[in-house]
Structure 1
């Protein structure tokens, strides 16, 4: 592994982590800037299509709408593998997502096990996501005691 590949791997990890951190802060506008202008975001739940978005504007609107009923968002990124080919790369990242919000007057915690399949591009010396396929493989929902 040469120095450029090591540097690219660090940048790609930081990109994935930054997207999660901005989601946790609910800074959706900054989050979608880490995607290319016409990026695709697809979400599958238990293998079934749930949501398909194209472009930053569509993503920002949908992500903001989704988060309006969520008080706390917490992502914990785990293992990541990437394959880099010049200015393009593909990667897989495992993530544990926790959402806490109110449902029917009760505080509810939802835990989600997700695997993200990402396609990256280097534009203007900066890595961005051009496609993200999120597979939400399992989900648990529990009432939270205050």
Structure 2
């Protein structure tokens, strides 16, 4: 494996981790800097498509709205596999996300097991996410006792 491939794989992993860090901290405008302007973002809950957003501006608006409904995010990234082809790449990553929300005066926590299918491009001297499809495969909600 070439030095460039190793460097690219590390940068792509850092990109995925930055998505988690910035999302957890609700730094939405900085999070948007990880995407191309013409991004495509989809979310499936089971087999149902529940989010289909195109463009960074639309996604920022959706993420801003979502973040106001969540008190706390906690994300843990797992496996991340990429296939690099010059200045483009595809990747699969697995993530556990916890979200704490308030409903009826009580905190509830939801655990999500997510698989991301990504397309990346090297643009402006850095890797960016061009397309991200999230598959929420397991969702478990319960009261949260902090």
d(CA) in 2 for partners of 1:45, 1:81:
22
Instruction: Give every structure 1 segment of 4 or more consecutive aligned residues whose post-TM-superposition deviation is greater than 4 Å.
Output: none
SS in 2 for 1:99: strand
> How big is the shift at 1:123?
0.6
Whole-Å separation in 2 of the counterparts to 1:69 and 1:11? 31
Q: In the alignment, which residue of structure 2 is the partner of 1:51?
A: 51
Unaligned regions of 5+ residues in structure 2, if any?
A: none
Q: What corresponds to 2:77 in structure 1?
A: 77
Say how many residue pairs are matched: 146
Task: Report the counterpart of residue 94 of structure 1 in structure 2.
Answer: 94
TM-score by length of 1: 0.98
SS at match of 2:60: helix
Tell me how far apart the structure 2 counterparts of residues 97 and 15 of structure 1 sit (CA, whole Å).
17
- Post-superposition offset of 1:72: 0.5
Cα offset for 1:101?
1.4
Task: Trace 1:108-123 onto structure 2 (pairs within 5 A).
Answer: 108-123=108-123
- Aligned 1:17-32 pairs, distance under 5 A: 17-32=17-32
State the alpha-carbon separation in 1 of the partners of residues 41 and 55 from structure 2: 8
- What's the RMSD between the two structures over aligned residues? 0.7
1:64 corresponding residue in structure 2: 64
Distance 2:58 2:12 in 1: 23
Shift of residue 68, structure 1, vs aligned partner: 0.6
Distance 1:142 1:60 in 2: 28
Shift of 1:91: 0.1
- 1:119-130 aligned within 5 A: 119-130=119-130
The answer as to 2:23 corresponding to 1:16 is no
Distance 2:76 2:36 in 1: 23
Whether 1:42 aligns to 2:63 is no
- What 5-or-longer segments of structure 1 have no aligned partner? none
Q: 1:95: how far off?
A: 0.2
